[in-house]
Structure formats: structure tokens, C-alpha cells
Amino acid sequence: MTMRLRVVLVFLAFGFVRTAAAQTPPPPPPPLWDVQVGGSFVGTSGNSDTSSLGADFGAHRRWTNWQLEAAATAVTTSDHGEQTAERYVALARGKRPLSALLSISAGERLERDQFSGLDFRSVLDGGLGWALVRGPQWTLDGVTSIAWNHEDRTDNTSLDHPIGLLQILSKIPFGTGADTTQRFAYFPDFKESSAYRSEAEITAQAAMTNTLALKFGYLWRFANAPVAGFKKNDNTTTASIVLRWKAATAAP
């Protein structure tokens, strides 16, 4: 599947879930803080001997003038005791509104994925956030930032490049117990134009109880100039059980 087709499919999903959400009542205001932790495990034995473990974390803290969000994911898979996939990502972002549309935004992203040729990657960015759509049944946010990308690679090379971050994030609630998000990010490389990267992700989450939910996600990653010997495309599909907690009071 080509990169153009994948991007088109993500944006078609935007329109589909937005139309479906038009029939749902508006959600309550966001809480002062919220935290969720998810986990998944699949294992086989006998004729096959495989295991797959996934975990994710997300949190938000909202003040009058500032908002902080953090997230982390981990995926590891083995086949007959041999590691076949292992990826860790952690990120944090803070933003302060300047107007109903505009905010200042800064973030840090850390990543390790040796099966894509990365011992370590750090992306530090700062720029502007955009509240493009603010409605009870659909929100759309954008980020435009200048960033610094540092990589330590499995071929014993490293790089430090100035890059950019262009991202849109859509969220559509279905009542008070379910929502879906769609994200597309593009990372142009200002030092080596052919080394651009992009990501497309869609998730869906539905509550089973006040604290328990099911979450499904699909992530596509593309690196136009990967580490030598590695492919340009990576795909990750996840299904997990999520525990959620939130403050009883609404955000200011």
C-alpha cells in the first residue's frame, strides 16, 4: 500500500467517524486530570511458542493557562525465545493558549526500536499549536514546530539534524463512553531533504465500566531514508484492555 493511499484512507476515516458522531450527544467538559494504563498479552505453546506483550500509558493535567500531556507505549514480541520485535516510545507536550485559535507548544519524544535500526532517537520541538475545530462532536488540533532530531543507530552511526513537525489530531466522541482519534504527522528534514518521515494513526476506545475500557489502534510509520538494511514501512496493530482514572472536578 503506497503512502498516498494510506494518507487518503486516514482522511476518509475522519469523514466517516465525524458523520457517525453527529448523532451523538455532546460529551461533558474535560476533567482536571486523567490517567489511563493499558496492557495486552498473547502467548502460544505446543506446536508454536510465541508471545506478544504490549503496554501503553496516557495522562493529562489541565490548569487555567497551561496543559501538560504525556504518553508512553511498549511493544515486544518473541518467537521460540528469540526477540522478533521491540519498540519503546515516550513523549511529553506542554502548551499554553494565546487565543481561542493559537497556543505555544513544546514537546519531547524519545524512541528506541532496534528492529528499525534505532538504538535511540530524541526529537525536541517547539512551535505553535492550533485549535482548528472546537465543537461538542468534533475537535481538530494542529501543531507546527521546529525540532532537533538526534539518532544513535544500530550501524554505529549517529546524526543530528534540524527537522520540522507538522501534525493534525482529530478526536470524535461517541456519547460519554467512547471516542476515536486520528493523527497524521510529517517530519521534514531540513539538512537532508530525502530523509523525511511520516506517521498515520487511528485509535478507537469504548468504555465497559467507569474505569475499564477496550482500545484498538493501528499505526503506520514511514521513513524515506531508513538505516541501511531496513525497510521504509512499519505497521503496528494493537488491542488492549485499559484502566482509566479521572478527577471528579472539571478543568478550569
231-242: pLDDT as tens digits: 999 999 999 999
Is pTM, for the whole model, over 0.95?
no
Give the mean model confidence (pLDDT) for residues 50-66: 94
Number of domains in the chain: 1
| Domain carrying residue 189 | 3-33+87-246
Structural domain includes residue 152: yes
CATH number at residue 214: 2.40.160.40
Structural domain includes residue 101: yes
Q: What is the structure's pLDDT at 8? A: 47
Q: What is the structure's pLDDT at 177? A: 85
Q: What is the pLDDT of residues 175-185, one digit of tens each?
A: 778 999 999 99
Structural domain includes residue 60: no
Q: What is the pLDDT of residues 103-132, one digit of tens each?
A: 999 999 999 999 999 999 999 999 999 999
Q: What is the pLDDT of residues 4-16, one digit of tens each?
A: 555 445 554 555 5
Q: Over the chain, what is the mean pLDDT?
A: 90
> 118-135 and 178-187: which strand pairing?
unpaired
Structural domain includes residue 95: yes
Structural domain includes residue 172: yes
Structural domain includes residue 237: yes
Beta-bridged to residue 92, according to DSSP, are 70, 108
Q: What is the pLDDT of residues 69-89, one digit of tens each?
A: 999 999 999 998 899 999 999
Structural domain includes residue 94: yes
Q: What is the DSSP string of the chain?
A: --HHHHHHHHHHHHHHHHHHHTTSPPPPPPBSEEEEEEEEEEEE-SS--EEEEEEEEEEEEE-SS-EEEEEEEEEEEEETTEEEEEEEEEEEEEEEESSSSEEEEEEEEEEEEGGGTEEEEEEEEEEEEEEEEEETTEEEEEEEEEEEEEEEETTS-EEEEEEEEEEEEEEEEETTTEEEEEEEEEE-BSSSGGG-EEEEEEEEEEESSSSEEEEEEEEEEEESSPSTTS-SEEEEEEEEEEEEEE-SSBP-
Q: What is the structure's pLDDT at 67? A: 96
Q: What is the structure's pLDDT at 13? A: 52
Structural domain includes residue 252: no
Distances (CA, A) of 144 to 82, 92, 126, 129, 196: 40, 16, 8, 7, 15
Q: pLDDT tier at 1 (50, 70, 90 boundaries)?
A: low
Q: What is the pLDDT of residues 16-29, one digit of tens each?
A: 545 554 555 566 78
Q: What is the structure's pLDDT at 3? A: 54
